[in-house]
Amino acid sequence: RCLEQNMLASAGNAFEAADDKKGLSKLGDIFFKAGVLVMALKYYKLSGNDLMVEFIKENFSERDLEKIYA
């Protein structure tokens, strides 16, 4: 429901509290597509989506992450 209403922080809190790995990864996808890599990385880590964590780390520098988030 939170995702449908674009309440991403609330969705993240709910998925994290429920230990919903699939929901956390989906939230990572949303942030990745929006170009908010810092948040995408956070939710991919929480979901255990190591493939996407490594993809972001290999293809974007810390400076890129900070610049995109700011």
pTM: 0.84
- Please give the C-alpha separations between residue 32 and each of 40, 52, in angstroms, as whole numbers: 5, 10
Q: Residues for the chain: how many in total?
A: 70
- Please give the C-alpha separations between residue 10 and each of 15, 27, 67, in angstroms, as whole numbers: 9, 11, 24
pLDDT tens digit sequence for 47-58: 999 999 999 989
Evaluate if residue 68 carries a pLDDT over 70.
Answer: no
Which residue type sits at 57?
K
Residue with tokens 């972001």: 56
pLDDT tens digit sequence for 13-57: 999 999 999 999 999 999 999 888 889 999 999 999 999 999 998
- What 3-state DSSP class applies to 20? coil
